[in-house]
Structure 1
Amino acid sequence: MTVNYDSKEYLAKVDAWWRAANYISVAQMYLKDNPLLTREISEEDLKIHPIGHWGTIAGQNFIYAHLNRVINKFDLNMFYLEGPGHGGQVMVSNSYVDGSYSEIYPEASQDEAGLKHLCKIFSFPGGIASHAAPETPGSIHEGGELGYTLSHATGAILDNPDVIAAAVIGDGEAETGPLAGSWFSNSFINPVNDGAVLPILYLNGGKISNPTILERKTDEDLQKYFEGMGWSPLFVGGTDPEKVHPAMAQTMDTAITMIKDIQAKARAGKAEDATIANWPVIVCRTPKGWTGPKTWAGEPIEGGFRAHQVPIPVDAHHMKHVDALVDWMKSYRPEELFDENGTLKDSVREISPKGDKRMSVNPITNGGIDPKPMKITDWKQHAIDTSTPGAIEAQDMTEFAKFAKDLIVENPDNFRIFGPDETKSNRMAEIFKVTNRQWMEAQKPEYDEWIAPVGRVIDSQLSEHQCEGFLEGYVLTGRHGFFASYEAFLRVVDSMITQHFKWLRKAADHKWRKQYPSLNLIATSTVFQQDHNGYTHQDPGLLTHLSEKKPEFIREYLPADANSLMAVMTEALSSEERINLIVSSKHPRPQFYSAEEAEVLVNDGLKIIDWASTDGDNEPDLVIAAAGTEPNLEALAAVSLLNKEFPEMKIRFINVVDLLKLRHPSQDPRGLTDEEFDAYFTADKPIIFAFHGYEGLVRDIFFKRHNHNLMIHGYRENGDITTPFDMRVFSEMDRFHLAQDGALAVKGEAAAEFAQKMTDTVNYHHDYIRANGVDIDEVVNWKWEALNK
């Protein structure tokens, strides 16, 4: 039987779906019982504290119902991203109507008892969130912190050529910086290899208590804006459902036809020859709080900010206006939607796409479409020979890029690299021997470098938000990658990273959720290497920020050389359900650790370095520990200074790579036991800890340990444009201060002369760099020498 998707009869079914979703959405806000109003509402039926945000709901339910229609009409592979904040009922209600919610949560059965359960748990203790949270079927995007809908959608459709991401963007969200910047996403979507994003800008006119900017713009102004940004805007809107339904159907059809035409034309040729497309964007104007109360207490509700949250003041303790609530709910004609058992009638559910075509259970929203593990080559084929520690100088990120190049070749369609115009600066140019930067805009060959329509690197937009959003969308849909950026400017997106952590944390509570590849962040151009850019570029605080999150989901790696970095990246790219922060050097550095040592450092988290220690099998006099590239370099130089001056001193040197492994097991399940910790650090011997980040993080780690005889030398929020070594001196994270503290801790007054020598050397350094502009020879020409043992 042929279905006429454009007929009045079919649109009446779309309307019935919409009314059902609206009815269930209102019931979720107010009710915990009697969801079908089969008897007079009592106090026991109402929640004491109704929670919800009505303003966005009906408009989004309308969009969702019409997306179902085009999925059926065009046989689409489509999923839904809910950008407007607090619109949680939308995806809950629609997944209940299509039956998938009950399939995942059988207690929310397709009858009155199940509907009662659904209403009670919404925004209720022990229940579900008011956002499209991880417990919500079909969601990969919670919409709590606004601004990331379009970047998540774009990340999701990269390398997914058959998918359309319906990205609903609220007009409040559209005012955020990240969302405004994400209209550039079309510059990176290849219509051959990638899917399509259908942005639906939902202009309902109100935020919490303000109008929205774009809704006050004329269609003419918005037309110019979007056309100037390379999009093809389609306008639809109104207040009368009888008129808006056919208008929306026509607009949706036009948008899908445009997408299919763009793809068909491009796919008749090669991806390498594709050009930028003018993808459609739907601008939908319907009232905030549509179909709800028109006015309340003499003030307008529908169409303005007053519809934002709970529009009618009714709860278990305030029953005065309950008749108004009942009238509102009955306006959706529930008797036409539900049978006598409280089950949605077949005529309502008839427009539901079938099986995995339902947006709520599209596989892309739960681990991805046919996800594949990464093929990870053996990094040791690129290992540096460190048989003489420190004899070879290399740039860690340059060496890692040789390994990354192999990964690109082995994973041609499920691995990507993202960055904000920093891939070359971060010393990864080697990868461009096998790939390009994906870029759909015009090219200027005389000026451009590694620019092409096809490439595994997206780094041509200077936006950390876009990089993070693209990567999140990519890994949440089952693929792999990393985002490399200047360390200080990863802080630009630390709240985005936090939101991703919250997603992982909540998703882990739901067994039906499949696992995701980890989110990998490389922080380079680091705090102690920013001597040329200055104080603004110096901030290692992401280490502290992430360390405060649930430990099961966070790893912080501080590899001190290229071998260690490649071993860390092998672990990170193989992992799932984590955020891996890797702090790495890009400048030339002595290479100290063998491939075997690097793998132990990753597997165990830390290692006593025999060739840099003199304690043998004995209890040391002094423990020197280091976490990070410059901390390792300076700590090893301090070991050398102390060994030459005090050859009898028993020194133990520890390199720490997996920082959070040092935490107590009561704080982190992976943490070393007290016995293991003391075997490394002793119970009472002095410890000099050279650290890449803020000192408080290490201080917290040692708080529950036996040994508090600790002196930490980390970043002390001092910096400037200066010489490389002076950056370390600013924070006393240099060899001379480290050696001075170590000597005084072990020898006391007997080390006074050596301590003064260290002070004199620092003073000499201070004067020398200001006269000559370069570091002193003692630092520049230093080489590791075998210790006196």
Structure 2
Amino acid sequence: MDTAVDLRSPLTDDELRRLDAYWRAANYLTVGQIYLLDNPLLREPLTPEHVKPRLLGHWGTSPGLNLIYAHLNRAIVARDLSAIYITGPGHGGPALVANTWLEGTYSELYHDIGRDEAGMARLFRQFSFPGGIPSHVAAEVPGSIHEGGELGYALSHAYGAAFDNPDLLVACVVGDGEAETGPLAGSWLSNVFLNPARDGAVLPILHLNGYKIANPTVLDRIPESDLLDLMRGQGYQPYVVAGDDPAKVHQSLAATLDRALDEIAEIQRRARSGATVERPRWPMIVLRTPKGWTGPRDVDGKQVEGTYRAHQVPLSAVRSNPEHLAELERWLRSYRPQELFDATGAPVAEVADLPPRGPRRMSANPVANGGSLLRDLVLPDFRDYAVEVPRPGATITSATGELGKWIRDVITANPQTFRLFGPDEVASNRLQAAFEVTGRAWMAGTVDGDDHLSPDGRVMEVLSEHLCQGWLEGYLLTGRHGIFTSYEAFIHIVDSMVNQHAKWLKVTRGIPWRQPVASLNYLLSSHVWRQDHNGFSHQDPGFIDHVMNKKAEVVRVYLPPDANTLLSTMDHCLRSRHYINVVVAGKQPAPSWLTMDEAIAHCRRGVGIWDWASTDDGSEPDVVLACAGDVPTLETLAAADLLRQHLPELKVRVINVVDLMRLQPAAEHPHGLPDSEFDTLFTRDKPIIFAYHGYPWLIHRLTYRRANHDNLHVRGYKEEGTTTTPFDMVMLNDLDRFHLVIDVIDRVPGLAARAAHLRQEMTDARQSARDYTRRFGEDDPKVAEWRWVRETDPTNP
């Protein structure tokens, strides 16, 4: 198919003049933000005092971003489109700020930055200035849903925004440096999951300006035929716009954009007419323009425009080098600002009239402020999915398997605002009940034997954690809800993406016009303690540690010990706003400890004494057995049972922690326990043996300020693992019930001497359990089939 576009219907002279004027205005404002501290309209000759002492920002990508923005504005007006703009080259921040100011949105939201000379001066001064705004596209920029602090996620965010937004066009500029990242390379195939009958459209614009910070870009230097074949192989019809003559590029880009939008409209018309929906070949644009276009051609005898030297600040010594100062003034005046801004400093009508009005402006589209569109989910009553628990531990079930039934009905009740995301692991994580009502979203070919593939699927599965994360972020930031389920060890793949989203949530809490979005919910299963069959490579609980480094007002971590607490926890998470919720729960059959009413009360507390497992009988305990996580809870209760049998006089208090943040002081986290409550639960001076799901030092970090921290001893994962049995896995890390009993004997004052025989018995029991696994390849039934039995139970021997 052709990649060139017929230019027999180019822009009229008037349209060309207006587009070029708007582009020049945006470029002028972009340069002004990078350089100027004062004299914004060059009313007087430029002096060193007019220039910022620290020059920060990125010019190289900005003129291309401004060019695309201008042309999209023309198309939006002509076609009455609802569109948003995602900027992959994130450090093009001044360009996006310039356009939002020209559109008027910036001044509407930031009243001190008016559309006049004084407002322009403030606009320039604040950019990359102490107390001002960042140099990249950030949450402060109206119309943005994409944090520009890191490259690789623009296209996945774009598709996430388009899902279930049938009237939306997402224009996504992919920088040629960004295109080299793994997440972006995988994102091209997101079109396999986009259904034109119910979803919006994504128009990728690959902007090739040739260079990164210091090196050429790969996609710019490979033969164009290879690049176009690559795009076709990804399912796109590429169109090329290239050149350095502004008039010719304007004409070519306008015609190409019109053709692409015509094709998108026809694809959607066919899909929505009742015809069979098949994966279309979506248009995309390859735009080749010089890096730093319209900037200084040469500086200090070296070429700048069209080279890596244009990447950031082309003229770096303006305050100290008169030649640089003179060149900056020539550069700014080359845009003819006297033609673009009136006597007050406002954009002249020819410039101001180009963008659309009201919410049709890309900087004012409510989709890009998703919290303003967010509606509560219709959630089935999770109590109706309760697991019957006649007594603690009597019912064995898969916690995530039970949750899957509830998620199934959440999907049914919210057919346009909720999706389940996972890297090919939804069924593996026991959430397969979802497939009773929906399929996996899929627009590619199918063959006999495929399982639950559907163009209308609400389950988003692709073997890329990056894509799942990016899709879900785009979905949430445009006003919808979702859950990301993953194997615990491999959620680390998105650590850096979580950083960016957490920073976005933190910053937007302080921006009045940004409305809270739905929380980013992680359900991590196939966790460290039950990856015994996959081995050491699949055993890592450290994502919790990573998340805990983020701001306290943003993150939450939950470790429900059984099915009913998991149901209560996930209902809470889906109702929450503006958090990152991490929920870790096992998928393997395991005991249920609490009735639904007990689970609800326990989850509301976040931490609590389990009276039925304790023997302190309302008095001061000799030892506290604390636990967080389903497997640590099982081992703790088994240890409590052994202590009850062998040391009945010992007063043991069992505490379970669901909400990990409760361990912190109230001054450190909104969920934190006041010291008085913590001391009431954990005592001020008794030994605490804490069995924890993850790395032990996190518990110490959360509690180091507590009065009884010196008596706290934590058992958890200490990077010991292999392919082995479940109980051998806990023994490898000294988290097993026998070792917990040994810890009690070693740490309760005066107990060691009189419990020496029991300590030896526990050591022998550990060895016996290990010998059994080595001989039979499975856990000893005496361990694997242990059940909690009350002393008053008539079945207790």
Q: What TM-score, normalized by structure 2, do the two folds share?
A: 0.97
Is the 8 Å Cα contact of residues 243 and 288 (structure 2) preserved in structure 1? Answer: yes
Alignment of 1:186-335 (within 5 A): 186-269=191-274, 273-335=276-338
What does residue 470 of structure 1 align with?
A: 471
Partners of 1:25 and 1:773 in 2: how far apart?
A: 67
For residue 163 of structure 2, the aligned residue among 154, 158, 163 is 158
Partners of 2:321 and 2:787 in 1: how far apart?
A: 78
Any idea what the Cα deviations from partners look like across 1:628-661, whole Å, max 9, x if unmatched? 0100000000000000001111111111000011
What does residue 546 of structure 1 align with?
A: 547
For residue 87 of structure 1, the aligned residue among 74, 84, 92 is 92
Alignment of 1:430-509 (within 5 A): 430-444=433-447, 446-459=448-461, 461-509=462-510
Point out 4+ residue stretches in structure 1 off by more than 3 angstroms.
314-320
Is the 8 Å Cα contact of residues 314 and 320 (structure 1) preserved in structure 2? Answer: no
What does residue 5 of structure 2 align with?
A: none
Partners of 1:447 and 1:411 in 2: how far apart?
A: 29
SS of the residue aligned with 2:578? Answer: coil
Alignment of 1:7-406 (within 5 A): 7-269=12-274, 273-367=276-370, 370-406=373-409
Is the 8 Å Cα contact of residues 371 and 514 (structure 2) preserved in structure 1? Answer: no
What does residue 766 of structure 2 align with?
A: 762
SS of the residue aligned with 2:202? Answer: strand
Partners of 1:322 and 1:625 in 2: how far apart?
A: 67
Partners of 1:194 and 1:92 in 2: how far apart?
A: 29
What does residue 521 of structure 1 align with?
A: 522
Would you say 1:784 and 2:785 are equivalent positions? no
TM-superposed deviation, 1:6:
3.1
Amino acid at match of 1:478: G
Any idea what the Cα deviations from partners look like across 1:391-415, whole Å, max 9, x if unmatched? 1110011100011011111111100
Any idea what the Cα deviations from partners look like across 1:193-221, whole Å, max 9, x if unmatched? 00000000000000000000001123221
Would you say 1:752 and 2:752 are equivalent positions? no
What does residue 679 of structure 1 align with?
A: 680
TM-superposed deviation, 1:246:
0.4
Aligned pair in 2 of structure 1 residues 266, 726: CA closer, same or farther (>3 Å)?
Answer: same
Any idea what the Cα deviations from partners look like across 1:584-615, whole Å, max 9, x if unmatched? 10001011111122112221111111111111
Partners of 1:32 and 1:472 in 2: how far apart?
A: 36
SS of the residue aligned with 2:707? Answer: coil
TM-superposed deviation, 1:319:
4.3
Amino acid at match of 2:724: T
TM-superposed deviation, 1:47:
0.5
Amino acid at match of 1:152: H
Would you say 1:417 and 2:420 are equivalent positions? yes
Is the 8 Å Cα contact of residues 49 and 315 (structure 1) preserved in structure 2? Answer: no
Is the 8 Å Cα contact of residues 10 and 251 (structure 2) preserved in structure 1? Answer: no
Any idea what the Cα deviations from partners look like across 1:87-109, whole Å, max 9, x if unmatched? 10121000001111111111111
TM-superposed deviation, 1:40:
1.7
Any idea what the Cα deviations from partners look like across 1:259-301, whole Å, max 9, x if unmatched? 000000110016xx41111111100000110000111122211
SS of the residue aligned with 1:744? Answer: helix
Partners of 1:605 and 1:749 in 2: how far apart?
A: 37
Is the 8 Å Cα contact of residues 205 and 211 (structure 1) preserved in structure 2? Answer: yes
Partners of 1:5 and 1:569 in 2: how far apart?
A: 55
TM-superposed deviation, 1:669:
2.9
TM-superposed deviation, 1:358:
0.4
Aligned pair in 2 of structure 1 residues 788, 645: CA closer, same or farther (>3 Å)?
Answer: farther
Is the 8 Å Cα contact of residues 647 and 788 (structure 1) preserved in structure 2? Answer: no
- More off after superposition, 779-788 vs 177-186: 779-788
SS of the residue aligned with 1:611? Answer: helix
What does residue 610 of structure 1 align with?
A: 611
TM-superposed deviation, 1:745:
2.0
TM-superposed deviation, 1:743:
2.5
Partners of 1:594 and 1:316 in 2: how far apart?
A: 72
Partners of 1:398 and 1:10 in 2: how far apart?
A: 60
Is the 8 Å Cα contact of residues 157 and 165 (structure 1) preserved in structure 2? Answer: yes
Identity of aligned residues (%): 50
SS of the residue aligned with 1:103? Answer: helix
Partners of 1:548 and 1:287 in 2: how far apart?
A: 41
TM-superposed deviation, 1:418:
0.4
Q: What TM-score, normalized by structure 1, do the two folds share?
A: 0.98
Is the 8 Å Cα contact of residues 561 and 630 (structure 2) preserved in structure 1? Answer: yes
Partners of 1:310 and 1:293 in 2: how far apart?
A: 11
TM-superposed deviation, 1:380:
0.9
Amino acid at match of 2:401: T
Is the 8 Å Cα contact of residues 560 and 627 (structure 1) preserved in structure 2? Answer: yes
Amino acid at match of 1:486: Y
Amino acid at match of 1:760: D
Partners of 2:268 and 2:226 in 1: how far apart?
A: 28
SS of the residue aligned with 1:233? Answer: strand
Is the 8 Å Cα contact of residues 744 and 751 (structure 1) preserved in structure 2? Answer: no
Partners of 1:177 and 1:100 in 2: how far apart?
A: 34
Partners of 1:267 and 1:218 in 2: how far apart?
A: 38
Partners of 1:179 and 1:71 in 2: how far apart?
A: 27
SS of the residue aligned with 1:55? Answer: coil
Task: Report the number of matched residues.
Answer: 782
SS of the residue aligned with 2:484? Answer: strand
What does residue 623 of structure 2 align with?
A: 622
Partners of 1:70 and 1:148 in 2: how far apart?
A: 25
TM-superposed deviation, 1:748:
2.0
For residue 428 of structure 1, the aligned residue among 426, 431, 435 is 431
TM-superposed deviation, 1:788:
7.6
Amino acid at match of 2:15: Y
Partners of 1:486 and 1:225 in 2: how far apart?
A: 31
TM-superposed deviation, 1:771:
1.1
What does residue 710 of structure 1 align with?
A: 712
Is the 8 Å Cα contact of residues 572 and 580 (structure 1) preserved in structure 2? Answer: yes
Partners of 2:223 and 2:372 in 1: how far apart?
A: 40
What does residue 736 of structure 2 align with?
A: 734
TM-superposed deviation, 1:361:
0.7
How well do the aligned residues superpose, as a CA RMSD in angstroms? Answer: 1.3
Is the 8 Å Cα contact of residues 374 and 518 (structure 2) preserved in structure 1? Answer: no
Is the 8 Å Cα contact of residues 372 and 515 (structure 2) preserved in structure 1? Answer: no
Give the gaps of 5 or more residues in structure 2: 1-8
Partners of 1:90 and 1:641 in 2: how far apart?
A: 67
Is the 8 Å Cα contact of residues 17 and 65 (structure 1) preserved in structure 2? Answer: yes
TM-superposed deviation, 1:155:
0.5
Aligned pair in 2 of structure 1 residues 648, 319: CA closer, same or farther (>3 Å)?
Answer: farther
TM-superposed deviation, 1:320:
4.4
Is the 8 Å Cα contact of residues 631 and 692 (structure 1) preserved in structure 2? Answer: yes
TM-superposed deviation, 1:341:
1.4
Aligned pair in 2 of structure 1 residues 318, 787: CA closer, same or farther (>3 Å)?
Answer: farther
TM-superposed deviation, 1:318:
4.4
Give the gaps of 5 or more residues in structure 1: none
TM-superposed deviation, 1:778:
1.7
Partners of 1:55 and 1:447 in 2: how far apart?
A: 51
Amino acid at match of 1:338: F
